[in-house]
Structure 1
Amino acid sequence: FHLASLAEAAGDLQTQFLEGDKEYDDILELNQFDGLPYSSRFYKLLKERKELPVWKAKCEFMDTLAKEQFVVVSGSAKTGRSSQIPQWCAEFCLSVQFQHGMVVCTQIHAQQAVDLALRVADEMDVNIGHEVGYNIPLESCCTTDTVLRCDPLLAHYGVVVVDQAHQRTVATDVLLGLLKDIVLQRPELRVVLLTAFPPSPKHLAHFTGSAARLIHLETLGAGEVVYSSTGDGYFCSALRLVLEIHRSREQGDVIVFLVTTQEIDLAHNILCHERKSLPIDLGELLPIAVHPGQPGSLPVLGEEETSQTRQVFLTQICYKESCRSTKPCSVFWILLAPSCFMVPSVELRPEATQCYMKFQHPEGDHFTLINIYKAFKQYCNIEKWCQDFYLDHNALLTADGIRSELTDTLKRIELPISVPAFGSRSNTVNIKRALLAGFFMQVARDVDGSGNYFIITHKHVAQIHPLSGYGAKSPKLDLPEWVLFHEHSFSEDNCLRTVTHITPQE
């Protein structure tokens, strides 16, 4: 790396960005990151992004990034710092042809890293896992160009963005300590700290020996959701927003995606407490905790109750599929819902197993779930039918609701929705390819032909769960060599659940 070339590029950058956002007023037809034409959604999001408070500081930030090793950006939530700053850092690295490396942005929670990567990829109009990726424990969504590597000097990165630096975790403090030493050996490396509030001068001087450049973003006016400095900012802001929506008297239910099951339960308790103090004329606020993968008991409201009650669904969601994929996603809403299989008593299990076999599909459990959902819709969502077949009526209702939400999302972002052709070979192959695109890290191989499946990523050996269509085979003959699984219950029974046969050709 040559500092002289960086200084020359910094001068060009300074001239380029002194004119503010002029480059976006006459934006090129092709995306500078992937060379493809911009979608209509990009221009819509760009207009919204320009309204964020952080955009007023873009010129100052880019100028500082070109000249200084350390940049500190402070501002409350909703200023856009977490989503916009990494994109601008990518533009900075692109301007010098990535000769000093790529951009890495740290997050405290794994789900936050996934969510931020999805949002940034959407706004940059690129594919998740390609130009923008993420790497969290036991899951990586990167290519060889974006993968995070174990590198003591971070030689693969030109800019390191430390988000939520005000939250003093052990991992954050260790990282900042390492960066302090690394920048002495890599003068071309840039470090950007994003905080909710300005750090003390002593804290800033800890890194460079002198006060680092601080850019303070404008705070939002009254009535907006403001970041809390207690360490639970996004959590508190989400609940505050729910209450504001309810007070606004706008129609419609609300769904809140949280990081952990503990947050779901805590949010449920808080909203149950807060609703007691709300005016009666606003109508009832009904918090509902939905834990993915666990049987739930969703309330069924009458028509009159529905018009007077706002339901708030508190749940988790894990995005596994590229937002720009046009492949069918007909099974994903079932996987996001709680399990539709009831847990009968010991004496009723043989009867329940016989019921489940009526829906069994030769291609695997994912297709069996589709058969169950099709039958559920065919019988008009009747609860009695579910009871007769030992199926959870509430779980299937949840799956139906999630399907509607995903369909609306696909329409909103202008993605084509293919009409399902159940029973055709091409439809089966397309569904398998869609599953592989989303769950490509969850693949296992039968290493000895007796049902001992070696999980490619975990390096563990597991068996197929007995309730699976394959797990019921005894002796274990004609088992598929390669399978894709949805869940590995390692700590419970070391079994693979929801399994489908795949082949290298697919």
Structure 2
Amino acid sequence: MSSKFVPKFWKPGTVAPGVGLEEERKSLTEESSQAVQYNPHRSLSVDQQRQKLPIFQHRTNILYLVEKFQTVIIIGETGCGKSTQIPQYLFEAGWAAEGHVICVTQPRRVAVITVANRIAEERGAILGEEVGYTIRFEDCSDPVATRIKFVTDGLLIREIMQDPLLLKYSVIMLDEAHERSLNTDIIIGLLRKIQKKRSDLHLIVASATLDAEEMYNFFNSNETDNPELDTAAVLTVEGREFPVDIHYTLDPTPDYIKCTVETVMKIHFNERSGDILAFLTGQDEVERVVSLLIDEAKKLNKDDMKMKVLPMYGSLPASEQMKVFERTSSHVRKIVIATNIAEASITINGIVNIIDCGFVKIKAYNPQSGIESLVVVPVSRASANQRAGRAGRVRAGKAYRLYTESDFDKLPQATVPEMQRSDLAPVILQLKALGISNVLRFHFLSAPPAQNMLRSLELLYALGALDENGNLTSPLGLQMAEFPLSPMFAKMLLVSGEFECSEEALTIAAMTQIQNVFVTPSRQKNKSNRERRRFSVEEGDHISLINVYKAYLKYGTSSKWCQEYFLNYKGLCRAVEIRQQLKRILLKFKVPLISCGDDVDPVRRCLTASFFANAAKLHYTGVYRTVRDDHVLHIHPTSVLFPEMPPKWVIFNEVIQTTKDFMRDITVIKPEWLCELASHFYQFGTTTFYPLGKKMTRDR
């Protein structure tokens, strides 16, 4: 039996419930066998592998409950097989007969693709025929042949706009509902309404860490046309296919990034097999750790096992994300460094060891300032358990938590739903487009704060998307709802024709959808900063992004050229794709495609007409303060305006909160533009600017 390595600073935790220690020992003794490197059941047939999953014991119960109840809530441990098996059980029971389709939603694009691909493999089908998927900007399904269809939550909302009753679907399964994203909560509320009109539409809500009682009460209060039909039921599936051993640190970790690298290397030198998945908070941290591990990999001896280090985060192009699912040889260990994008519904072949930093980056909205920030907070216990579950998908695994067990016990049970900590302007715009006139009375699973709702309604009215009665305006409001962008970006694109800069507006919209256009290697920071100045202009970040995009096209979209000038080649490739998609929407709305050439003032005016609510003025103390709410902000260090002489007036896209509140994607504006282009929102005082409705006092 191979010895079990536990780093000296780890404290053993508990083995996953429902699995005996003897089974864990048996799995560990087989580690040296190449046949079990990825799956100890690989020699079994597909049907035999499916029958070994814990969910198989409940197959009959699931089908019975779906037949009897309109809504079935299934709570099953990570790795029990609910995501891949339940859609197949429904298909085999005839729920996709007579032209109907079984729909399965996932919060993230990568989960949609991987789970659909897995089910297609199990069924021996070609992906895109019997089993297909549809995500934003990509459709891999057949309108006639596809019977099991995977979509993102956001895309299902788009489908409801076309077919309000979703008549082609017989069963809709909401997977990973515990994440409680904005789109997930909207879908849950909409499906509750649709079920009142369609008693034949059945809903399955599945998760490993969901508050089942809250969900049950929400759907059980739903009134249907058939009073004899019970509304909701809950089923719990215990056990996972493979055990996961949890380890904690003995003392708090002062630097989880450094500790992540050290833990990866300890595992690499002491564990003979098994790939590694480490969770961090954002793209910057992921790329930093990837760079450090690549440096460590170069120091390995010829006889040591090789390391293949791969990043995984949301803004990474899909083709790059899919690389983490490729198999490696027995002499190469795969090490995936990811954000919480890899937290749920993803099975990466070979992953045995999980490293959890204990933090996550989430949105946080302040209704007083109207600013939505990205903040790093401790994970919830539900998320920590989801992360640990990634280790028990294909064989017995281990999860190393970079925090103490007592700290784990202090974590919140679940993350606050995104609906209660986000800017609700996109939500309200979507609900209005779906014909829900009174959004304040809409049945939300978790009601958002009233202040957030009022602030968002005010912004949409100021943007011209809503009229004075709160109804969607035509055509502007209806067209804004069609864009898969925030309302401000949608407004910018739709009015860009009037400012004769629609080509530049398309470029800005596409470039701001990718993170970190500029790459800054730790050892070449000064050189990369010098190269960045080649594209920088005094007008700010948006115009600089246009320069980068034009230069990228001019030099043949070359990866070598991007490397020379420290640009994110993969991100720029993605920006080209996004721009083409947005261009098609503009052509659909007959917005003229015009370029303003070298005159950047039309672009800045167009941005001002859309982002006027995000205006800030330089204070005499050296900081910026928002014009509307006097909130203190700073220029982000990655901005082209940092640390040059700060301009007096700016607008910005978003705020990121780390040590301070930083503005990102900034453009320099003239104060008179605010009065000219947003006179309904601002007015001049005797010596300065004031938002309408605020008491005017003279500046000192």
TM-score in terms of structure 2 length: 0.32
Between Structure 1 and Structure 2, which shows a larger proportion of strand residues?
A: 2
TM-score in terms of structure 1 length: 0.44
